[in-house]
Amino acid sequence: MTESMLSLVGVGKNFKEVEALTHVDLEIKSGQVIGLVGGNGAGKTTLLRLMAGVMEPTKGSVLFKGERVSSMRSKLGVVPESTGLYSRLTAWENIRYHSRIYGIEDQVAWNRVSHFAKQLDLTDSLSRHTKGFSRGMRQKTALLRALAHGPDILLLDEPTAGLDVTSARTVRKLVGQLRDEGGTVIYSTHHLAEAQQVCDRIVIVHNGTIRADGSPQELLELTNKNTLEEAYVSLTSDKARLRTEDDTKESKLAKWWRIFLTGKTPNSMEVGEDE
Q: Decide: 200 and 33 in contact? Cβ < 8 Å.
A: yes
Choose the most confident range, by mean pLDDT, from 187-196, 198-207, 241-250. Answer: 198-207
pLDDT level of residue 206 (50, 70, 90 thresholds) = very high
Q: What mean pLDDT do residues 73-90 have? A: 87
**DSSP characters for 160-195?**
TTT--HHHHHHHHHHHHHHHHTT-EEEEEES-HHHH
Q: What is the mean pLDDT of the chain?
A: 85
State pLDDT tens for residues 154-188. 999 888 887 889 888 988 999 998 999 889 999 99
pLDDT level of residue 75 (50, 70, 90 thresholds) = confident
Q: Say if residue 119's pLDDT is above 50.
A: yes
In this structure, of 111-125, 223-237, 248-262, the range with the lowest mean pLDDT score is 248-262
251 or 126, greater pLDDT: 126
Annotation: CATH topology of 4-265: Rossmann fold (3.40.50)
State pLDDT tens for residues 42-72. 888 899 989 988 889 999 999 998 888 877 8
Q: CB-based burial of residue 119 (10 Å sphere; 0-12 exposed, 13-18 middle, 19+ buried)? A: middle
Going by their DSSP bridges, the two strands 67-68 and 59-64 should be labelled as: antiparallel
C-alpha triplet 274, 100, 263: angle, nearest 5°: 30
Report the distance separating Cα 120 and Cα 210, nearest Å. Answer: 33
Residue among 115, 117, 55, 79 at smallest CA distance from 274: 79
Q: What mean pLDDT do residues 5-14 have? A: 93
Amino acid at 163: L
Residue among 218, 221, 171 at smallest CA distance from 191: 171
pLDDT confidence of residue 112: 93
